[in-house]
């Protein structure tokens, strides 16, 4: 590997997080829970020639090797950091969807299907808890919106800080939202941090 040089991301948007946790070694269900509830997790692998040359030699597309145990727990030897972003089952075999940092020329456009304990991938998994402030509380979105009811929509902050939360929009008007109005705001939309949302 070559030295990438000085970090060029110091001025990128910052992400707040509340805390972090490590999954127990080879706790497959715990890792699935973390991905499902918190998003991609950080993990480490012990690479071999087969891993480096993937997918060559793996006609079914799933990488596997004999390095499946965690003999030293969290201190089990690994040599490369990756992300696990999901999982699946193919012909009865379970696998993780692994995202690598070696560019789109490696694997399948930079991704790999890896057996759930191969390459010691389940030995050292960590993840972040998202940060929520008290004023942003997610609620269920009603199927019909009437006067004085509350609806929610996902909001992505832009600017110096990035945070994905739910925003509550209160309809205090004397009319029901019509279909055309709802169509205009369907899907994610962006609000600059510190902005005020108003519906008139």
**CA 88 – CA 108 distance, rounded (Å):** 15
pLDDT, tens digit, 9 for 90 and up, residues 92-110: 999 999 999 999 999 999 9
**CA 69 – CA 187 distance, rounded (Å):** 44
What's the token pair of residue 78?
Answer: 């690994």
Q: What φ, ψ does residue 170 adopt, rounded to 5°?
A: -100, 130
**CA 153 – CA 168 distance, rounded (Å):** 7
**DSSP assignment string, 159-182:** SSEE-EEEEEEE--SSSPPPHHHH
Query: What is the pLDDT confidence band of residue 73, given thresholds at 50, 70 and 90?
Result: confident
pTM higher than 0.75:
no
pLDDT on residue 118: 97
pLDDT, tens digit, 9 for 90 and up, residues 116-135: 999 999 999 999 887 655 44
Q: At residue 19, does pLDDT exceed 80?
A: yes
Q: Which CATH number applies to 14-130: 1.20.120.1200, 3.90.550.10, 3.90.70.10, 3.40.1390.10? A: 3.90.70.10
Query: In degrees, to the nearest 5, what angle opens at C-alpha 144 toward C-alphas 143 and 149?
Result: 110
Evaluate whether 163 touches 154 at the Cβ level (below 8 Å): no
pLDDT on residue 173: 44
Nearest to 122 by CA among 24, 11, 16: 24
Q: Where are the domains of the chain?
A: 14-130, 132-195
**CA 186 – CA 91 distance, rounded (Å):** 38
pLDDT on residue 144: 43
What's the token pair of residue 122?
Answer: 């389940």
């Amino acid at each position: 590997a070559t030295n990438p040089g000085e970090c060029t991301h110091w001025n990128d948007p910052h992400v707040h997080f509340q805390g972090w946790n490590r999954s127990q070694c080879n706790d497959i269900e715990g890792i699935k829970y973390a991905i499902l509830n918190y998003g991609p997790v950080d993990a480490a692998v012990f690479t071999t020639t087969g891993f480096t040359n993937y997918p060559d030699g793996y006609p079914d597309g799933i990488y596997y090797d004999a390095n499946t145990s965690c003999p030293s727990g969290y201190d089990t030897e690994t040599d490369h950091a990756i992300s696990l972003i999901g999982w699946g089952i193919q012909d009865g075999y379970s696998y993780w969807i692994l995202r690598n940092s070696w560019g789109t020329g490696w694997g399948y456009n930079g991704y790999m299907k890896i057996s759930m304990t191969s390459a010691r991938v389940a030995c050292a998994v960590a993840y972040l808890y998202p940060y929520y402030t008290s004023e942003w509380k997610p609620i269920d979105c009603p199927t019909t919106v009437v006067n004085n009811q509350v609806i929610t929509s996902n909001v992505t902050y832009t600017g110096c800080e990035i945070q994905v939360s739910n925003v509550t929009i209160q309809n205090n008007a004397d009319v029901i939202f019509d279909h055309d109005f709802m169509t205009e705001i369907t899907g994610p939309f962006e609000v600059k941090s510190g902005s005020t949302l108003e519906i008139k």
